[in-house]
Amino acid sequence: MVQALSVCGNASSIHSEGRQARAIVEKARRQLGEALGVSPGQVVFTSGASEAAAHALCPVVRAGGSEIPVSTLYVSATEHACILAGGRFSAQNVEVLPVDATGTLDLAALKDALAGHDRAQGSPMVAVMFANNETGVIQPVAQIAELVHAHDGFFVVDAVQAFGRIPFSATELGAHFILLSSHKIGGPQGAGALVLANGSISPAPLIRGGGQENFNRAGTENVAAIAGFAAAAGLAAGANGKTAGEIGAIAALRDSIETGISTICGEAGNKAGQPVFFGHGAPAGRLANTSCFAVPGIKAETALISLDLAGIAVSSGSACSSGKVNKSHVLEAMGVDDELAVCALRVSTGPQSTGSDAEAFLGAFRNIVNRIAA
């Protein structure tokens, strides 16, 4: 990435500086393709997953020389805001499907929705996240893909949280379009990709103008960010992805944190309620590094500030994209009542997190419980 910053050429220019920039972008495309198990030409670099979503969620899909109209977008209620916004579908053409108490998409509801879809108006498109950013809950992507294909629909998978955490091959996922974000795997912010997992099918371009990204996404490439994204992908996924043993060790660390939380809340003398861990029992499991929980009576905002003062960065259950803690639409969709939802904290471990980090967190958490609920 640092090397790329010193290359001043525009990747579309013919001069040698331009060719150097082009070489960096194309190397990055190969690296990302390798990490995903697709050919480089299937990778479209974007400014992030939100742009990739706005691009993929399109009422016109191109297959070879023809254009296929898509009339309805079906999404789960726990999707990221960039999916719930519906891309280029108008609000009345977006149907939100329920999840169960574990946060798993209600497959019967999806089946009914697809069975009732009016094909005369256009194809259905289904967009679902592989793993949830608040709870870590994994969706049964293979079963969803089967249903979508049985109804000749298009399948969009938001793999932002799963990439680098769950080994997968983009071609075996059954998705037409896959969304990725660089900063979720340790790359720079402001880069991502739309992966055309079914090579011959692409959404109509979102940003039109120049012929960059094989006419899929106009605009001069962010060469350094793309280089950083691909380097991070090369380290985190594909052949360098996590083994089952490594994922097991990450889950064991997360489980030790959850056991510690329960122990602290159960200690004699404190009045904190017992913690509720969200997403436990989800049929497809949870991401190994994520725990979302609430202790009744301990507000997330208070706990978050105390933990921050102790040098520990956690999030509230809700994504606070505007800088303030909002009610979580994910927990709401899972049927969590408002009083408990405002207590929801999300703890994620990183690749370098250790047992002593978990202990430091639990020590700081014990202080909060003792102070607030004693």
Q: What is the rounded distance in angstroms from the CA atom of residue 130 to the CA atom of residue 18?
A: 37
Residues 6+ apart with CB under 8 A from 44: 52, 55, 193, 194, 195, 196, 213, 214, 216, 217
Q: Is 139 in the site for ligand PLP (CB under 6 A)?
A: no
48 counts as binding ligand PLP under rule CB under 6 A = yes
Nearest residue to 162 via CA among 287, 331, 31: 287
To ligand PLP, the closest distance from the beta carbon of 129 in angstroms equals 5
158 scored as a contact of ligand PLP (CB under 6 A): yes
When asked if residue 181 is in the footprint of ligand PLP (CB under 6 A), the reply is: yes
Among candidate residues 167, 162, 200, the one with its CA nearest the CA of residue 178 = 162
Q: Quick one: which segment of 45-53, 98-106, 211-219, 288-296 binds ligand PLP (CB under 6 A)? A: 45-53
Binding test (CB under 6 A) with ligand PLP, winner from 31, 76, 104, 161: 161
User: Shortest distance, CB of residue 339 to ligand PLP, whole angstroms?
Assistant: 26
Nearer CB in complex with ligand PLP: 188/273: 188
C-beta closer to ligand PLP: residue 7 or 58: 58
Of the candidates 81, 129, 125, 75, the one whose C-alpha atom is nearest the C-alpha of residue 97 is 75
Stretch that binds ligand PLP, among 47-55, 102-110, 215-223, 261-269 (CB under 6 A): 47-55
Site for ligand PLP contains 78 (CB under 6 A): no
160 binds ligand PLP (CB under 6 A): yes
Examine the residue annotation and report whether 320 is marked as an active-site residue of this protein. Answer: yes
Residue 129, interface with ligand PLP (CB under 6 A)?
A: yes
Residue of minimal CB distance from ligand PLP? 48
Q: Does 290 bind ligand PLP (CB under 6 A)?
A: no
Pick the binder of ligand PLP from 31, 42, 50, 76 (CB under 6 A): 50
Query: Residue 133 interacts with ligand PLP (CB under 6 A)?
Result: yes
- In 3-state terms, what secondary structure has residue 8? coil
Per the listing, tokens 């520990």 go with 312
Are the C-beta atoms of residues 318 and 218 closer than 8 Å to each other?
no
With beta carbons less than 8 A apart as the criterion, state whether 78 and 107 touch. Answer: no
Of residues 185-214, those binding ligand PLP (CB under 6 A): 192
Cα–Cα distances (Å) from 63 to 60, 66, 131, 313, in that order, read 10, 5, 28, 45
Which is nearest to 198 in space by CA: 229, 228, 156, 231? 156
Instruction: Report CA torsion sign: 18, 19, 21, 25.
Output: positive
Kindly tell me which of 75 and 295 has the beta carbon lying closer to ligand PLP.
Answer: 75
So which residues are the catalytic ones? 320
Q: Which residues bind ligand PLP (CB under 6 A)?
A: 48-50, 80, 82, 129, 133, 158, 160-161, 181, 192
